[in-house]
Amino acid sequence: MGIGEKLKTFTPAVVLTLIGFMVAYQFVDPAPPNTLTFSAGSKEGAYYAHALAYRDYLKQRGITVTVLESAGSLENVESLSSGKADVAFVQSGIADPDNSKLSSLGSMYYEPLWVFVRADITITSLNELKGKSIAVGPQGSGTRVLSLQLLQENGVDESTATLLPLSGNAAADALNSGKIDAVFLVAAASADAVWTLNQNTNVKLLNFSRADAYTRRIATLSALTLPQGSLDLGTNEPKQDMKLLAATATLLVSETLHPALQDLLMQAATHVHGGRSLFSTAGEFPTPLYTALPLSKEASRYYKSGPPFLQRYLPFWAATLLDRLKVMLLPFIALLIPLFKVMPPLYRWRVRSRIYRWYDELNRIDEALGSGFDQSQLDELDRIESEIRKVHVPLSYSDELYNLRMHLVLIRESAERIEG
């Protein structure tokens, strides 16, 4: 059987399969974008530093990340809601749980709250800050939101205290010089302002003895223990175990962010935040806890099962391509099953038809010989023999071709006997 005949046999099946693929392709999800906008915080803050770590991780997977500087969590929420950013760090408890435009990928690390007060005044709890001057952080910052929330829980507000928009080193300097009475800082222990104040004998760190009560009232807060000597073993700072409150840095994404990028962000989060720290053990973060917003479907699946199967063994672009094309497997299988059943018999029929078609003419001549010999019958047999020699079939069908030739010889011998 020539190539032309094979094409005639299999072309309809190929065309049908291609049509099925074209129809199925209409339901394939779009490819993930290769760019991502990350709203972080100030360039001096932890959010920005972590965003750069994400950028480096994603760059190795073919994703270009643009990191935006911001005033803090509130601005980050606004950037996500407005579509200016795709992903952002937001302090737990800041975003509105009913904001349907946002989803959470979980909590990434603890953000301890440090409350420092002047050493020369007796303050053991937040409700004793009435009438005091307090640095609660600038507008738009997560520190300010948390500070005001905790103060309000203790009956302290703008009418009963002086609340100043100071933060960082400026707030630390004001406290050290006696210009203010207390400072609220949400930062890592290694932050300059926190480190400076912890080493300063003019101020003292407030011990949250009622930390567990706060966590019962505010679900996005955690109670942490700062062990004695954990900041500096040489000077034994702190001098005793200290109870602290902590928010968490949550990773929020826009509802429109491609699922494959959310999967990749979860892997980046594990890479960046999965180690141990002063307040957490290795593997404790990222976690689905402490976030008021609902987890995205991809994040929920990741916490249960880890990275998608294909992304564990293939480059990101290959894994996402195969994942998108899986919708095409159904029509492919639906077409292949009947084709596997139909094509072999169809192929056999096309091969054998080149042989069996000559039996009609041989039968006609054989029947005509019953009525007497005619020279035209031999001439017709010569023509048929010439045509049969042009027939080519696969080796597995050669016996049928040679049977045809043998039958032709038998009819020729019968005609010659009748002639003689």
Length of the chain: 420
112 forms bridges with which residues in the sheet? 246
Q: What are phi and psi of 391, to 5 degrees?
A: -80, 130
Q: What is the largest CA-CA distance in the chain?
A: 141
β-strand partners of 354: none
Query: How far is Cα of residue 387 from the mean position of the Cα atoms in its chain?
Result: 65
Cis peptide before 238 (omega within 30 of 0): yes
Name, in order, each residue with C-beta under 8 angstroms of 42's C-beta and a sequence gap of 6 or more. Answer: 48, 69, 70, 71, 72
Which domains does the chain show, CATH number per domain? 35-307 (3.40.190.10), 344-419 (no CATH)
The pLDDT tens digits of the residues spanning 225-264 come to 999 999 989 989 999 999 999 999 999 999 899 999 999 9
Instruction: Report pLDDT for 378.
Output: 83
170, 212, 298, 307, 308 from 304: Cα distances, Å:
44, 28, 10, 9, 11
In angstroms, the Cα distances linking 9 to 310, 354, 355, 394 are 37, 13, 16, 15
d(CA 361, CA 364): 5
Express each pLDDT in 166-221 by its tens digit: 999 999 999 999 999 999 999 999 889 999 999 899 999 999 999 999 999 999 99
User: Which spans in 306-328 are helix H?
Assistant: 309-313, 316-325
Q: What is the 3-state secondary structure (H, E, C) of 107-153?
A: EEEEEEEEEEEECCCCCCCHHHHCCCEEECCCCCCHHHHHHHHHHHH
What's the pTM?
0.73
Nearest to 253 by CA among 90, 403, 129: 90
To the nearest 10 degrees (0 to 180), the angle between helices 259-273 and 46-59 is 120
Residues of the chain with pLDDT under 50: 1-2
